[in-house]
Structure 1
Amino acid sequence: MITQDVTAPTSAQLTGNATKTERKNLRALSWGHALEWYDWAIFGLLSSYLGAHFFPADNEFASTLNALAVFAVGFIARPIGGIVFGSIADRLGRRKIMIFAIAAVSFGSFVIGVMPGYETIGVAAPIIVVAMRLLQGLSAGVEAPLGTAYALELVPNRPGYVSGFFGFFNNLGNLLAPLSIFFLTQLLTGDNLAEWGWRIPFIIGGLFGLIVLWLRSTLPETLDVDGAREAKSEKKQLPSVWVDVRKYWLSVLATVFIVGAIQAYNYTWIAGLPNLARAAFQEDPAAVFAITTGFGIFMTLGALFLSKVLDRFAMSKVFVVARVLAIPTIFLSLLYSQPGIGTFAGVMFGGAIVLLLNMTIFVTVSNSLLPQHIRGTGLGLGYGFGVALFGGTASFLLLWLQGEGMFWMFPIYIAALCAISVVLYLVAKKRNGIFVGK
């Protein structure tokens, strides 16, 4: 068995407040996370409008499925982005890759916001949308896993604080997405929202990326890039990143399911159920966006609270308890099998507490299974495949099963993923040890 990394903080060190500089660096990273989650959430929430505008179909439900299929396509690029840019980050440093990631995701959002529809440019419209989602997928494949790894290197003694801090900004992005759409439903008529108003959140996301680019330009580098270059110039033997990734293959596999299971749960709540309400059950759009906004407020403030208390507990135990609780909670989705805005609200908030705890810690837990020098590559690989295989397909699968009359199969599928993730985590922890927290 591999013992705990000597650079990892001990239990006694997991105390104290983050310094002013550490908080500044965390904000620079976290605003990028907020922007990424905002961009991905608005695509999911506005799929019914995007489908009608960019994908010709006989009815609204079919065009929404087309847009959600593109939503899933963006996730396919995540493993590629994680592998390629994660390995570059492990060799050349974190900072430049994180700057690239935010430039790509904001550019894709802006293009989608200003691009003409199918009626104007024909088949070029869906092709460009797919291309932008692939670009965003490449950047997001390294943004989420590497960003948290970077943060844990900047603030190594407070993994719980980092988890909650990032969770706050992640959920802030998810909150700002439905909040912006909710305000649009109050300011615009339904026809104006469907015709051009849906573009506004995408354009805002693209422009906000310029601010995040400036913030990230001030970040320090945490990887010893100069030392690696000096060793290379002196022809010293350097360990291969991929050799060590293969050595920790079980930790990478565990990460696939740790990430995939909870992202499937997450996208069910933030995209699948709202689109089921909007496109399949024809619920009032303003009511749907109001409920998802309230859900986002709870998730955002809850993560801020967790940042204050998580370091009091062993992260490994918190993860196991939270993930086991997710197994019965996912079956709440079965309650929303027919129209009813009250039922929709009850299901959304009924699953919120368990989802909050899982979403706050899952990336930090994945980081804990890998040593620093391979986190960019290992997490990019595991995170990317987990999101692509399970997270990005969840919304599409939910609506498809609903349309086929087999909605009952969906929570069984998510519950099985959660159970597998717990087993793999415990086995990987026992075999390889942990390198962050306790």
Structure 2
Amino acid sequence: MKANDQGLNTGKISPTRAIFVASIGNALEWFDLIIFGFLSVVISKQFFPETDPTTSLMLTFATFGIAFVMRPLGGIYIGIFADKKGRIKALTLAAGLMMLGTGMIALMPTYHDIGIIATIGIVLARLIQGFSAGGEFASATAFLAEQSKARRGFFASWQIASQGLTTLLASGAGVMLTTMMAPEDLESWGWRLPFFFGMLIGPVALYIRYKVPETEEFVEAETTETPLRDTLRSQRRPLIIAIGATVLGTVSTFAVLYVPTFAVREYGIAAQSAFTATLATGIVQMILAPVVGHLGDKWGRHNIMIAAAVGMLLLIAPLYMWLAAVPTGTTLILVQIIFGVLLTGYFACQPAFLSDLFPVQTRTTGMSIGYNFAVTLFGGFAPFIITVLINTTGSKLSPALYIMFAAVVSLIALVSSRKTVQSFRRAEAAAR
């Protein structure tokens, strides 16, 4: 059945409007998900009151990771929904679920107030957030990538630019809270403020649902009633490549988000400096991502991703060694900026690269499965894994070693993907 036979909201939308709407919605979605990690030290005291601070923090990181257990399930369900009913309806569903989970965290009484029910409530809220985020990446990426086949890399890169905006918002919130509030106020009620801000995703979702038309590429496509079966039967190789190529992007992203806690706990750097360093990374990602996406359309996103992955493999250990040797706020900011450039060089091309692996009929389903399985296995528990590695080995270079491992995995996937991507492009050209 043709997608345009389903009574979808069709029409034209300007490129600027498409980018703006998708980016704001995506930024708020990811802000709601990751602000939990930024405030992990405070939240650990409110919902995991263990006598050992390290145990309490590790339980909080485990809860941070639990959200990612739900991501494959959410990705499959919302991905199928997007390929059958449209990108706009899927984005609206994801945003509504995220608002629910975020609202639960914002309003949840603490362990001191209601005991273990508070802990269970926080875990449930994170599961809902994880389910929502599972479908967000692929739905937003498909919506952006399908705005223009010729400029797929540029449009899809705004997925990453909006995540840079997320880092900017989350780290900015961290800076404001740690500098403008007394510690006792932050721990008492101030930590809830960013979650109330994140609930603004609700009005954005309503605007998207009723004002934004479906993508022309999806409307003109012949839909399938079995996108999951089709993906698993005929697109297993693209799925494996998608998982492998996503490993470096997700590990690097969550390593960046982990830096505030890592720098404060391991090097004694002030929380304000740590948040400022992450703020700098967000600025780099937000500004540089569209540039990298544009260059990917001209020079080949595959080539840019390989160059960035090699750069991370070679430079990440020296950067962390420099930070260990000179553990100051200035060093941390410079390390974050350099790492932010390398990360953006890889990550900004990744959405369009993943889009190239799958046809429009199964694009969101395929991307959702590949992306979310990689994020769950390698990214969601990255802070927890790194904390365990540091405590087990005693080495503060553990984050760098984990990123190097991810770079090797993704390089193998990229090298093996050339024929798959070329075959898809030939098939797409023939269909046109």
Q: TM-score normalized by structure 1?
A: 0.87
Residues 83 and 227 of structure 2 are in contact (CA less than 8 Å); yes or no, is this contact kept in structure 1? Answer: no
Q: Which amino acid aligns with 1:298?
A: V
Superposed, 1:398-417 pairs within 5 Å as: 398-404=386-392, 405-417=394-406
Q: Distance in 2 between matches of 1:40 and 1:409?
A: 24
CA contact (8 A) 2:386 2:398 kept: no
- Asked whether the 8 Å contact 1:33–1:143 carries over to 2, the reply is yes
Structure 1 residues 434, 133: CA separation in 2 closer, same or farther (over 3 Å shift)? farther
How far does residue 357 in structure 1 lie from its aligned partner after superposition? 1.1
Within 2, Cα distance between the matches of 1:289 and 1:359? 21
Matches within 5 A, 1:307-346: 307-331=293-317, 332-337=319-324, 340-346=328-334
Equivalent residues in 2 for 1:55-66, closer than 5 Å: 55-66=48-59
SS of residue in 2 equivalent to 1:67: helix
Out of 409, 415, 424, the residue aligned to residue 426 of structure 1 is: 415
State yes or no: 1:45 paired with 2:45.
no
Alpha-carbon shift at residue 314 of structure 1 (Å): 1.3
- Alignment counterpart, residue 250 of structure 1, candidates 237, 249, 252: 237
Structure 1 range deviating more: 293-302 or 167-176: 293-302
Is residue 199 of structure 1 aligned with residue 192 of structure 2? yes
CA distance in structure 2 between the partners assigned to 1:293 and 1:240 by the alignment? 39
**1:315-343: CA deviations, max 9, x gaps?**
22112212222212332334444854344
The alpha carbon displacement at 1:349 in A equals: 2.4
The residue number in structure 1 matching 2:5 is none
CA distance in 1, matches of 2:66, 2:395: 23
For residue 214 of structure 2, give the secondary structure of its aligned residue in structure 1: coil
| Counterpart residue type for residue 297 of structure 1 | I
Say if 1:398 and 1:333 are closer, same or farther in 2 by CA, change over 3 A.
farther
Structure 2 counterpart of 1:318, one-letter code: I
Following superposition, the deviation at residue 427 of structure 1 comes to 2.0
Residue of 270, 275, 280 corresponding to 1:294 = 280
Q: Counterparts of 2:111 and 2:260 in 1: how far apart (Å)? A: 25
Match of 1:136 among 122, 129, 137: 129
1:233 match: none
CA–CA distance in 2 between the matches of 1:158 and 1:277? Answer: 39
Alignment coverage as a number of residue pairs:
411
Q: Deviations over 1:355-391 (max 9, x none)?
A: 1111212122111111111111111111110000001
State the secondary structure of the residue aligned to 2:212. coil
Is the CA contact 1:104–1:139 (under 8 Å) kept in the aligned structure 2? yes
Question: 1:293 is paired with a residue of what secondary structure?
Answer: helix
Kept in 2, the 8 Å contact 1:258–1:418? The answer is no
Letter in 2 for 1:388: T
- Structure 2 counterpart SS, 1:221: coil
- State how far apart, in whole Å, the 2-side matches of 1:282 and 1:63 are: 19
What secondary structure sits across from 1:433 in the alignment?
Answer: helix
How much does 1:434 deviate? 5.5
Which structure 2 residues correspond to residues 39-438 of structure 1 after superposition, within 5 A?
Answer: 39-222=32-215, 223-224=218-219, 228=223, 241-270=228-257, 272-331=258-317, 332-337=319-324, 340-404=328-392, 405-431=394-420, 433=422, 435=424
Are 1:369 and 1:433, in contact at CA under 8 Å, matched by a contact in 2? no
- Tell me how far 1:143 sits from its aligned partner: 0.4
Secondary structure at the aligned position of 1:217 is classed as helix
Cα distance change of structure 1 residues 26 and 118 upon mapping to structure 2, 3 Å threshold: same
Check the 8 A contact 1:323/1:422 in 2, yes or no. yes
Which residue identity lines up with residue 208 of structure 2 in the other structure? Answer: L
Identity of aligned residues (%): 28
Unaligned runs of at least 5 residues, structure 2: 1-11
Contact 2:259 2:278 in 1 (8 A): no
TM-score w.r.t. length of structure 2: 0.88
Higher relative contact order (CA 8 A, sep 6+): 1
Output the amino acid matched with 2:297: D
Pairwise CA distance, 1:138: 0.8
Q: Secondary structure at the match of 2:417?
A: helix
Counterparts of 2:179 and 2:340 in 1: how far apart (Å)? Answer: 26
Give per-residue Cα distances to partners, 1:267-315, cap 9 Å, x unaligned.
Answer: 1112x22111234444322222222222222222222443554432212
Deviation at 1:266, TM superposition (A): 1.3
Residues 375 and 227 of structure 1: CA distance in aligned 2, closer, same or farther (over 3 Å): closer
Runs of 5+ in structure 1 lacking a partner?
Answer: 1-18, 230-237
Distance 1:154 1:226 in 2: 14
Q: 1:340 to 1:435 in 2, by over 3 A?
A: same
Q: Secondary structure at the match of 1:49?
A: helix
Which digits, 9 at most, give the CA deviation of each residue in 1:66-98, with x for residues without a partner? Answer: 111111111111111111221222222222111
Amino acid at match of 1:355: L
1:319–1:227 distance in 2 versus 1, CA, 3 Å: closer
For 2:13 and 2:363, how far apart are their aligned partners in 1? 26
The answer to whether the 8 Å contact 2:94/2:136 transfers is yes
Distance 2:416 2:388 in 1: 34
- Paired AA for residue 253 in structure 2: N
